[in-house]
Copies of this chain bind each other. A is one copy, B any other.
Amino acid sequence: MGGFEYALEILATLFYAISGIRLAAVKNFDWFGALSIGFVTAIGGGTLRDVLLGVPPFWMLDPWYCVAMLVALPIVMSFKRWLVRLEGTFYIFDAVGLALFVDVGIVKTLMMGYPMWVAIIMGTITGAMGGVLRDVFINEVPLVFRKEIYATACIAGGVAYWLTGLAGGSPIVQQLVCAVIVIGLRFFAVKHGWTFPQMTD
């Protein structure tokens, strides 16, 4: 992985941790609890992916992910108002982080010799499962299951990765197309309030 992608991934980890800590604050968690929820949000998806793939969790091999998450706590505590004002633009960082996590999940799974359909599932788990685990720990019904085009953006990105490969695109092009699809879908979903049809009983 290039230095630019690595820097982006650390930044994505920071953004995910910030969003987790902010949700924990709403629930009156203490500092430690908020930090834990930040950890789970940021590395939960990648950890589940690595456990399913049978490799050591990525954050146990490189301290900078944990440093990024530790830094998230003082950021949230110091810049509370500033973060609230940023709310409207925050989802763009979030979307970039999501796109990057999906790419990382797909590439890692393919490198281990698994077929494309497993890679799409692992990309989706990497991007979306941290939020699901966060919601389980704060005792809420996972948001991602109810009303947002979120995990589906991951799946669409994964399918785009696959189709780009079929069309002869190089891995770099595949990753770019995947990222553009994920970010684009998230952008329009938030802008236009796109949701999925609910199941009815």
- Chain A residues near B (Cβ < 8 Å): 21, 24-34, 36-37, 47, 51-54, 56-57, 60, 63, 66, 76-77, 114-115, 117-118, 121, 132, 136-142, 144-147, 151-152, 195-201
Residue from the list B32, B57, B77, B142 in contact with A196, Cβ < 8 A = B32
Q: Which residues of B contact A195 (CB under 8 A)?
A: 30
Q: Are A60 and B51 in contact (CB under 8 A)?
A: no
CB of A34, distance to nearest CB on chain B (Å): 5
Q: Are A29 and B199 in contact (CB under 8 A)?
A: yes
Given the known interface contacts A51-B52, A136-B136, A139-B140, the answer about A199 and B34 at a Cβ–Cβ threshold of 8 Å is yes
Q: Give the residue among A34, A142, A197 with the most B Cβ atoms within 10 A.
A: A142
Closest to A129 in B: B36
Q: Which residues of B contact A66 (CB under 8 A)?
A: 117, 121
Q: Are A28 and B137 in contact (CB under 8 A)?
A: no
Q: Are A145 and B29 in contact (CB under 8 A)?
A: yes
CB of A68, distance to nearest CB on chain B (Å): 14
Q: Which residues of B contact A56 (CB under 8 A)?
A: 52-54
Q: Are B146 and A137 in contact (CB under 8 A)?
A: no
Residue from the list B33, B118, B146 in contact with A60, Cβ < 8 A = B118
